[in-house]
Structures are given as C-alpha cells and as structure tokens.
Amino acid sequence: MNGEKTLSPERIAEIKAFKNTDFSDCPVMTGEELRKLRPRHPEYFKPVKKAVQIRLDADVLAWFKAYGKGYQSRINAVLREVMTQAARDQT
C-alpha cells in the first residue's frame, strides 16, 4: 500500500458516526474568529508533510522568499486557505 496507513473498522465507524452528528445548535463563527483559533496542543494536529517538486513562476517564488525564512510554509498556508475556501464554497 505504498506505506499508507489503513483505518481500522472501529475508526471507520467513529468517522461515520461523526459525519452524522447534528451541529445545528453550534454558533456560527466568522472567518476572522476561525483564523484566531489555536489548538491547545499543537501536536494534536500535525498534517503529514510530503516532499514534492513543483514549478512556480520565478516572480511568485521571489515574492515569497522576499519575506525570509519559512517561504515554503507560507506557500503551504496560502494553498491551505484556498483549499479550505473551496471546501466552504462547495457546501
């Protein structure tokens, strides 16, 4: 399976139960409020990083690098924001 982990039947049942949870009584948060949220324990959610090779326009890469170290993390953050916005738009 190319090193990918498989989910146990118990974990699959938990996920299915969660998908059917009614969250209608939860307060709606603004995008700004959501951006300010920080997990209590950062180790709780650590997305798996995967090394890839992509081709970016030179000026785009230069713009991210101009802000110093961490440019790859900033690129990732921008892509994550686009991804989450697209997910919100689909609902």
Question: Tokens in use for 61?
Answer: 């890469």
pLDDT beyond 60 at 3 = no
Query: For residue 75, which of 90, 61, 88, 89 has the smallest C-alpha distance?
Result: 61
Q: With contact defined as beta carbons under 8 Å apart, do 60 and 54 qualify?
A: no
Mean per-residue pLDDT, 6-10: 88
Close Cβ partners of 65 (under 8 Å, ≥ 6 residues apart): 71
CA 14 to CA 8: how far, in whole Å? 10
Q: What is the pTM of this model?
A: 0.50
pLDDT in tens, 40-85: 665 566 788 899 999 999 999 999 999 999 999 999 999 989 998 8
Q: Which of 46, 45, 64 is nearest to 54 (CA)?
A: 64
pLDDT band at 1 (very low <50, low <70, confident <90, very high): very low
Q: State yes or no: pLDDT of 33 exceeds 80.
A: yes
